[in-house]
């Protein structure tokens, strides 16, 4: 392989490897993008060593470390304050907690089961998803229910 072809391949490995590592920094876990990026970066460093020597391969390694550091910093900042912090938090699908003080709000309210209750599960009242349980019987999804009390952190319901 001549030096111009090797240099082109080396530069492409650096660029694509860095891009894949940056993409991986914003994805949960360590997957295909991260592994592929690491392999491309290692290939670029080996090619740099073959064509330009140890000094330039060390400079390339330092560049890779800087790119990884920037990617980790940006993903951490995004997870704390940016877009990732808004997308990783469950909001609408969580069940609303029931406290003894909020019991009066739900007592004698009617709703519908959104999961099967065996005997515990979730119900929906007025667009809110709540933890609930029966006194032991099985209720299938879509069953109309009424709140008759509360125990700890969940409502006690009966089939209407």
Q: Which of 44, 62, 87 is the endpoint of a domain?
A: 87
DSSP strand E in 13-133: where? 110-113, 120-125, 128-133
User: How many alpha carbons fall within 13 Å on the CB side of residue 1?
Assistant: 11
User: Do 83 and 106 have their domain in common?
Assistant: no
Q: Does the pLDDT value for residue 6 go beyond 80? A: yes
Report if residue 114 sits inside a domain.
yes
More confidently predicted of 154 and 88: 154
pLDDT in tens, 19-63: 888 888 777 666 888 889 889 999 999 999 998 999 999 998 998
Q: Does the pLDDT value for residue 131 go beyond 80? A: yes
User: Do 77 and 122 have their domain in common?
Assistant: no
Lowest mean pLDDT among 31-40, 59-68, 88-97, 110-119: 88-97
Residue entry with tokens 């991986």: 24
pLDDT band of 148, cuts 50, 70, 90: very high
pLDDT in tens, 57-82: 999 899 889 988 887 888 788 777 76
Q: Which of 44, 59, 87 is the endpoint of a domain?
A: 87
Q: What is the pTM of this model?
A: 0.49
Sign for the pseudo-dihedral over CA of 18, 19, 20, 25: positive
Q: Does the pLDDT value for residue 134 go beyond 80? A: yes
More confidently predicted of 156 and 87: 156
Summarize the confidence of residues 82-106 as an average pLDDT.
Answer: 60
User: Do 74 and 105 have their domain in common?
Assistant: no
Beta bridge partners of 156: 133, 149
Nearest to 122 by CA among 132, 107, 111, 112: 132
Arithmetic mean of pLDDT over the chain: 83
Largest CA distance in the chain: 82
CB proximity list for 21: less than 8 A, separation 6 or greater: 33, 34, 37, 38, 41, 67, 68, 71
User: Do 77 and 126 have their domain in common?
Assistant: no
Q: Which of 37, 53, 87 is the endpoint of a domain?
A: 87
| Total number of domains in the chain | 2
């Amino acid at each position: 392989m001549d030096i111009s072809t090797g240099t082109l391949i080396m530069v492409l490995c650096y660029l694509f490897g860095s891009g894949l590592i940056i993409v991986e920094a914003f994805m949960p876990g360590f997957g295909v993008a991260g592994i592929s990026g690491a392999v491309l970066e290692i290939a670029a460093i080996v090619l740099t060593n073959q064509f330009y020597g140890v000094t330039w391969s060390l400079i390339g390694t330092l560049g890779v470390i800087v790119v990884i550091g920037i990617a980790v910093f940006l993903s951490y900042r995004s997870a704390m304050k940016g877009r990732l912090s808004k997308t990783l938090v469950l909001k609408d699908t969580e069940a609303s907690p029931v406290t003894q003080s909020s019991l009066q709000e739900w007592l004698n309210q009617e709703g519908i089961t959104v999961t099967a209750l065996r005997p515990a599960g979730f119900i929906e009242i007025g667009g809110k998803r709540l933890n609930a349980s029966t006194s032991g019987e099985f209720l299938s999804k879509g069953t109309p229910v009424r709140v008759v009390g509360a125990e700890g952190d969940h409502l006690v319901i009966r089939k209407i």
